[in-house]
Amino acid sequence: MKIKICGMNHNPTEAAKLLPDYLGFIFWEPSSRYFSGEMPVLPSSIKKVGVFVDAPLEEVLERVKKYELNAVQLHGKENAEYCKALKDSFLSFRAQSRNQKESNENVVSTALDLTKLKIIKVFSIKDDFDFDLLKDYEEDCDYFLFDTKGKLPGGNGYAFDWSVLENYPSNKPYFLSGGIGLDSKEKLQEFLNSPASKNCFAIDVNSKFERAPGLKNIEDLKIFIESLESGRN
């Protein structure tokens, strides 16, 4: 099971020492966890996820290039056409970079390959969910993420009813998010042992592991990750 720690801001270097699979950086200015600083050097095994909310494509592409992101998480009302346009822009950027290099031998080669960049589309759930909404996103999104519907796009601090995912009709892997903390360990293990978790790819944690917005509680994260990896409650 993969681990994603989202809402990184004040202590990403310390969180990175726990070697999660993903670290999420929020690029939505109204968020109390908005990230605008210098990206620290992270272990190559950790994938950097940029979280956006209804952002213009140009802004997303700019942040992807600036911070060399590995994935883009769409947490707003982005439709399937937006996701396709975003994916096409990644492919177009790669083609432009290749053509530029071929026409100018002085151009320095970059390790940034946007064709490998993943798109994670977020859907919010309260009591139930119409899974038919996923169909249009299947082709251009690499993962889905299910979070709790609340006042904010994310980081509301409470969980939705995970049994809703028993009706998940897709084979596409998904991230489970929303109010997951140390007090969720027993419930989470029960879920991971249930048929509903068949396509659960990663656990996404955020506000329940904070001393303040964007400041992660490293000790609690360590306990949680070790517990998840060992399968102990």
Q: For the chain, what is the largest distance between any 2 Cα atoms, rounded to a whole number of angstroms?
A: 58
Cα(89)–Cα(101) distance, integer angstroms: 18
pLDDT digits (tens, 9 = 90+) for 137-168: 999 999 999 998 765 565 556 688 999 999 99
| Mean per-residue pLDDT over the chain, rounded | 88
Query: Average pLDDT in the 172-188 region?
Result: 94
- Domain 2-230, what fold? TIM Barrel (3.20.20)
Domain residues of the chain, as ranges? 2-230
CB 58 within 8 A of CB 89: no
The residues near 57 (Cβ < 8 Å, ≥ 6 apart) are: 82, 85, 86, 89
Buried b (16+ CB within 10 A) or exposed e, 35-60: beeeeeebeeebbbbbbbbebeeeeb
Cα(156)–Cα(204) distance, integer angstroms: 13
Q: What is the CA radius of gyration of the chain?
A: 18
Cα(67)–Cα(220) distance, integer angstroms: 27
Q: Which has the minimum average pLDDT: 81-90, 97-106, 153-162, 218-227?
A: 97-106
- CA dihedral 201→74→52→187, nearest 10 degrees, is -40
Cα(167)–Cα(23) distance, integer angstroms: 29
pLDDT digits (tens, 9 = 90+) for 55-69: 999 999 999 999 999
pLDDT digits (tens, 9 = 90+) for 7-46: 999 999 999 999 999 999 999 999 999 999 899 999 999 9
Host H or E run for residue 152: none
Look up residue 160 and give its amino acid. Answer: F
How would you class 74 by CB atoms within 10 Å of its CB: exposed for 0-12, middle for 13-18, buried for 19 or more? buried
